[in-house]
Amino acid sequence: MKKTKKTVVVASFAAACTLFAGVGFAAADETPAPGSTPVVSAQANYDRSALQTQHDRAVTLRDANSGKLSQYTQSSWTHLLSDIDTAEAKLDSSKDGNFSAGGAASQSDVNSTASSIKTDLDLGILQAPQAGDIKADAPLQTTASLQSFYNKVKDVVRSSYPSASNDKWSRFDASRSHARWTASSGSDQYSVTRAYDDLYKDTYNLDQSLLPTSAPAPGQGGSSTPAPAPVDKKAGLRSAYDKVKDYKQSDFTAASPWAAFDAERTVAKALLDSASPTDEALAAETTALNTKSGALISIAGLKADLAKAATLKPADYTEFTWYLVTLDVPYAQSIVDDANATQEDVSTAQSIFDSDLAGLKAPIAGQKTGADVPTTPKTKEDLSGLVAQAETLKQADYTADSWKVFADALKDAKEALNPDAQSQLLRDGGDYTFNYVELEDAQSALVRNASQQQGQGGAGAGAAGNKSGLAQTGASVSIVAGIMALLAAAAAAIKLVDRKRA
């Protein structure tokens, strides 16, 4: 059963456009978190505000824990430092296009980096050491020391360890192969550290006599003597169980195999509580629990988005970006209420909703807000009247960037009025609200040229000296080109949705 709605799919593309072009013309000045110091000038071509926020989070985490290195693994600490270095390279606008220096190649590159670092931080990038882990206060390893370690264990064969479990051997063998590749590929410090630490831990679990004598022992900082520690045979199952122990049936679709999962979770808990389970039983139960939990279809994220949207005030956002959210709410609710919603249904709705919530923009002076979204569907006649009014405006009166977005919205509206145009797909039946709101919002956000601002009102005139809007930020006109590519892709996406609709 497919519930994907045409207008909502288009809304996701339009929301993506707002991220590129700043529909609503909210100020493009980058605004880091309170108390933080921007790494780059606000005159950069890309919107780096999200990346700046994640950079500041990472720096705060680093500074708060720099005196507690013994509490974390070396690979996780190096990972945090690597994320900070990566963010700072892409925040430095002077490095844009310089791949070797880590500079940003595109807006998508900046957004991807911000998303990746956010994921690392949200999942808990710093990890506490367990048996076999090297602590962060130990000396960093080099490519040469990684190569030396690999050379010591490269000829170890499976037959020498008949009592070792298959899982233990497989982990060692995989880490050994990864170490060989990393040592020969000229990798960065984080990659070398991660490869060395993984090989050290998996060798430790297989045979501690194979460990390099120059390496720090687990739990001993820079000590050169390995400190024996009991191996937690239940670690794998415990990790799998901890991820699902708090799952609630109400957070999943009614058709999800909850009973089978819940029964498996009970079995897993009993095995964890048993005194001496075998390696084989633990491995089998870990696989079974992961399989049963993986079959569940979670709607918790959609519920969270619906709850968040319910707390927002329409007047705080531009008309068009808020309108996209109003499309998402009933669509997401229909998926939540659908007992047989598929993972594809949920993922599609979640992606659209997340994107549109992230794309909400604050209005500039004089711009329409979410409070102005029409309460009844707009007809073809309504849109025709708005187009006629928009066509009376003169391009020479407005900044080039604000006029470009307005002109694109006007073009979309005129195409929607043409029954033969491909953009007819952008609406359902006789509802022209999408194009009406897009054009009305863009028109209200027009920014007058400096010579036109003195003593003049009219569409988008705003307050004298207002620094909002693309023209005052120095943002490149090339950003707007992203809109054209996304709208072109929209038609193809909609055709795919049409084929899926029931």
Q: 326-381, pLDDT tens digit by residue? A: 999 999 999 999 999 999 999 999 999 999 999 999 998 889 999 999 999 999 89
Q: Are residues 369 and 444 in the same domain?
A: yes
Closest by Cα among 451, 448, 412, 461 to 432: 412
Which pLDDT does position 181 carry in this prediction?
84
Q: Judge whether 75 and 198 are in contact, CB under 8 Å.
A: yes
Please name the residue that has the structure tokens 């102005």: 372
Count of domains in the chain? 4
Q: Give percent of the chain above pLDDT 70.
A: 74
Q: Judge whether 173 and 150 are in contact, CB under 8 Å.
A: no
pLDDT confidence tier of residue 223, bands split at 50, 70 and 90? very low
- Please state, as a whole number, how many other Cβ atoms lie within 10 Å of the Cβ of residue 479: 21
Task: Let me know if residue 42 belongs to a domain.
Answer: no
Kindly tell me if the per-residue pLDDT of 317 is higher than 60: yes
Q: Are residues 286 and 327 in the same domain?
A: no
Which pLDDT does position 287 carry in this prediction?
94
Which pLDDT does position 473 carry in this prediction?
32
Which pLDDT does position 15 carry in this prediction?
40
Kindly tell me if the per-residue pLDDT of 197 is higher than 50: yes
Task: Let me know if residue 91 belongs to a domain.
Answer: yes
Q: Are residues 279 and 335 in the same domain?
A: no
Which residues fall within 8 angstroms of residue 157, CB to CB, at 6 or more apart?
none
DSSP conformation class of 250 = G
Kindly tell me if the per-residue pLDDT of 472 is higher than 80: no
17/227 Cα distance (integer angstroms):
56
Kindly tell me if the per-residue pLDDT of 295 is higher than 50: yes
Task: Let me know if residue 199 belongs to a domain.
Answer: yes
> Which token pair is 69?
């290195």
> Which token pair is 9?
């799919």
Which pLDDT does position 4 carry in this prediction?
37
Kindly tell me if the per-residue pLDDT of 32 is higher than 90: no
Task: Let me know if residue 216 belongs to a domain.
Answer: no
Q: Judge whether 377 and 40 are in contact, CB under 8 Å.
A: no
Task: Let me know if residue 221 belongs to a domain.
Answer: no
Q: 394-403, pLDDT tens digit by residue? A: 999 999 988 9
282/292 Cα distance (integer angstroms):
15
478/100 Cα distance (integer angstroms):
24
Task: Let me know if residue 282 belongs to a domain.
Answer: yes
Q: 167-179, pLDDT tens digit by residue? A: 888 888 898 988 8
Q: Are residues 75 and 194 in the same domain?
A: no
362/169 Cα distance (integer angstroms):
56
Q: Are residues 269 and 163 in the same domain?
A: no
- DSSP structure string for 278-335: -HHHHHHHHHHHHHHHHT--B-HHHHHHHHHHHH--GGGSBHHHHHHHHHHHHHHHHH
Q: Are residues 159 and 282 in the same domain?
A: no
Q: 70-109, pLDDT tens digit by residue? A: 889 888 888 888 889 888 888 888 887 776 777 888 888 8
Q: Give the range with max mean pLDDT: 188-192, 267-271, 276-280.
A: 267-271
> How much of the chain is helix, strand and coil, in % rounded to 5?
60, 0, 35
Q: Judge whether 458 and 448 are in contact, CB under 8 Å.
A: yes
Which pLDDT does position 454 carry in this prediction?
52
Q: Are residues 335 and 427 in the same domain?
A: yes
22/24 Cα distance (integer angstroms):
6
Please report the sign of the dihedral spanned by the C-alpha atoms of residue 205, residue 208, residue 211, residue 213.
Answer: positive
Q: Judge whether 359 and 15 are in contact, CB under 8 Å.
A: yes
Please name the residue that has the structure tokens 């264990």: 153
Task: Let me know if residue 352 belongs to a domain.
Answer: yes
Q: Are residues 419 and 477 in the same domain?
A: yes
Domain that holds residue 400: 6-26+318-500
Task: Let me know if residue 139 belongs to a domain.
Answer: no
| Final residue before a domain boundary, out of 176, 193, 210 | 210
Q: Are residues 81 and 206 in the same domain?
A: no
Q: Give percent of the chain above pLDDT 90.
A: 38
| Final residue before a domain boundary, out of 262, 278, 294 | 294
- How far, in Å, are 126, 282, 357, 484 from residue 243 at the CA level? 17, 16, 27, 42
Phi and psi at 73, nearest 5°, equal -75, 150
Q: Is the pTM of this model over 0.85?
A: no
Q: Are residues 246 and 381 in the same domain?
A: no
Which pLDDT does position 31 carry in this prediction?
43
Which pLDDT does position 9 carry in this prediction?
40
Helices (H), 207-257: 235-244
Q: Are residues 244 and 333 in the same domain?
A: no
Over residues 287-314, the mean pLDDT reads: 94
Kindly tell me if the per-residue pLDDT of 410 is higher than 80: yes
Q: Are residues 388 and 477 in the same domain?
A: yes
Q: Which of 100-114, 189-203, 468-482 has the lowest mean pLDDT?
A: 468-482
